[in-house]
Chains A and B, each alone.
Chain A
């Protein structure tokens, strides 16, 4: 099995000096203006509607602006002040735990679900559709359902556990700080699992069967096949899915806001919810922006490196 890069194709063709290859490379050079023309609409949309607010958001975090005022530049003072705030440090810890736990759960269970979906023959459509539903239902409303399911008085979860005699008293899902974090991670996993499962499934479908058959005839068992064929070949897919999910999970607002509002005692505050409380409710937009963008430099580096790895388009031979 050989892995080649697409670039290699063209390079070889050009190097060969064929008439056809020369026509190809001519086309390539001539196409730069065409490429720009095609990209232009998207480019301008993003430039006007994203670049300007984006730059302004970054400016906000580096200034002492309040709502409506532009404020003046203060450098990294907002970030420094955050590092001395106990609520922010708690938020930082919460966010890391939340993202790590949710990503871990989604990766592991997503992989398991994908493997199952891959092999299921009967009721394929039904099962895949059912599994996709959490992703489809409007988030604002599905989070409300979860809140109602854990609501101290009427919690159906507690009712079930008590009926099955697994517990004798109500479990304080939302009032207890650690259980509250568990609950929030659970809801995020519920919502994000379909995305992981279906995308990994797509990756699984693309792995050629011959590889498995060859390995099997060489005597490799299912576990060995999984670790030495499936996982390595899924790396590009996993890479992109985890990257996307990390960005969106870190920025999650709705779940914590509806379920706990950051409590109890700030133990479930995430960047987005704390930024909301600080910036929008308190009017300290600049500090709220600093909270939101705290991980921005790190995320930028992560995005760069991940994309570099994934964009090296690989083809199978």
Chain B
């Protein structure tokens, strides 16, 4: 192959891949860049119609972050969100693994119905479901405590985790389990010692999904928890920084930035697992 062809071969991907993907990346990132820039802008510039929205022209300010940190209970809310999300994730993944295994491997009466029933729970939107659910939560005495969230979040996390893990388990060859069982392991041991280590990407993928959905949840956190120090992050930010007809934009954006950090960090570490977890899970 002569050098012109070789050069063309190397340049071509730039045009057929990197150029086309740029609009997607810009589209995805732009609002978030805007969020970041707004959180560092001074109020005077923020509300000036003639200022350039993209750039910070009149000096960076940490004032919004200070406001958030010192004048509100932001770090308490952050911690609450963290606790609730972690707890709900652990519960959902455990329940999901336990439920996915029989659905993926075993034949038993009711398997089909259970699989479908799981999906059907998503058909009643949370904007309606929360009302009867609040009665249940109150009767259990869980109102105004983080337990209310830890217990109710799995209701929308478990079905998805189960489905994901079910698909993932199916891709793992059965032979290794069958060998283990013929050697005398029972089902539980097989699951924990043989299948899980191999299925780590799938489990991580399910955990990331569960954590993201818990972290972003708003409605249940608003309704079931009232005390200021127990609020989750988004609920707290909304209630402190939107007062009547005044929105504290700088503070809201600062809250959004800090609030996105944990998940972004988690995804950076586990991105490869995430994609490979979906890889097998979605197809089979």
Contact = CB atoms under 8 A, between A and B. Distances in A.
| A and B in direct contact, judged by CB atoms within 8 A | yes
Interface SS of chain B: helix, strand, loop or mixed? helix
Contacts of A201: 275, 278
Contacts, number: 265
Contacts of B152: 49
A289 B260 contact: no
Interface string A126-141: 0111111111111111
Nearest to B162: A42
Interface residues of A, number: 101
A199 B271 contact: no
A28 B238 contact: no
A31 B187 contact: yes
Interface residues of B, number: 98
Interface in A195-244: 198-199, 201-203, 205-206, 236-237, 240-241
Contact of A49 (B155, B170, B275): B155
A211 to B, nearest CB: 14
Given A24-B178, A28-B106, A139 B101 contact: no
A133 B124 CA distance: 27
Interface in B122-179: 122-129, 131-133, 135-136, 151-152, 154-155, 158-159, 162, 170, 178
B279 A156 contact: no
Interface in B235-278: 237-238, 249, 252-253, 255-256, 259-260, 263-264, 267-268, 271-272, 274-275, 278
Interface SS of chain A: helix, strand, loop or mixed? helix
Contacts of A54: 121, 124, 129
Interface in B201-230: 212, 215-216, 218
Contacts of B54: 156
Interface of B: 13, 17-18, 20-21, 24-25, 27-29, 31-32, 34-35, 38, 47, 49, 52-54, 94-96, 98-99, 101-103, 106-109, 111-112, 114-129, 131-133, 135-136, 151-152, 154-155, 158-159, 162, 170, 178, 181-182, 186-187, 212, 215-216, 218, 233-234, 237-238, 249, 252-253, 255-256, 259-260, 263-264, 267-268, 271-272, 274-275, 278-284
Given A48-B136, A134-B28, A206-B283, 13 more contacts: A39-B98, A45-B95, A50-B129, A50-B155, A127-B21, A131-B24, A144-B252, A144-B256, A145-B38, A154-B53, A156-B34, A292-B127, A303-B120
